[in-house]
Amino acid sequence: MDSLTEKEKGYLFGLFLGDGYAYHDKKQRHYSIEFFLNSEKDIDVVNFLRGLLLKIGTKPSFRKDKRYNSIRVRVRSKRLYEALIAQKKSLVDSSKEFKIGFISGFIDAEGHVNPAKRMIMLINTSKKVMCLIKKYLEDLGMRVVLKKRKKSKRDRLPSYRLYVPVNFINTESNSVKVQRYKRGLQVAG
């Protein structure tokens, strides 16, 4: 992980918290980290993730699941597994760059950029994670709104919605979805 910048580490961890999974098979001594992304909409996110994983010396594998329109990115790495687990314990005292990267990764995992309303919306079932993102955004000088969503028939767990102000796009974000939005503004302008 030393070859990544603070922002890239934050991105990787934000994406992991949103769409990732870590597993340690003690019997076979395997450490697996998996990311599940949309195989149609998130190809650019997959490519950015691939670059980060290659930069830290891992060999990601990719498997498309047509049933769920998803692509699974898997890495077997004890070092990455331990880094992600350790990072989970030290989120409070993070640098500004890490916070921007973390929010960017979480946007790419759980976010929706709405150009018409000029906002970014995040939805997740973890109130703890959403409160952390709210705190990070407030640390960056942004006002945010966090609300509990009404439970629909499809929802198994309560979820929370966080509205990220559009001025987040003016940060040095490495969110692929925010970069898509910026490119759309440049084409329109």
Q: What is the pLDDT along the chain (189 residues), one digit of tens a residue?
A: 788 999 999 999 999 999 999 998 888 888 999 999 988 888 999 999 999 999 999 999 999 987 788 999 999 999 999 888 887 767 767 889 999 999 999 999 999 888 777 788 899 989 999 999 999 999 988 888 899 887 777 777 888 999 887 777 777 877 888 887 777 654 443
Beta strands in 54-172 (DSSP E): 61-65, 70-76, 111-114, 119-124, 145-148, 160-165
Q: Comparing C-alpha atoms, which of 133, 152, 154 is closest to residue 144?
A: 133
Q: Is residue 31 a contact partner of residue 76, using CB atoms and an 8 Å limit? A: yes
Provide the pLDDT for residue 152.
Answer: 73
DSSP label of 59: -
pTM: 0.89
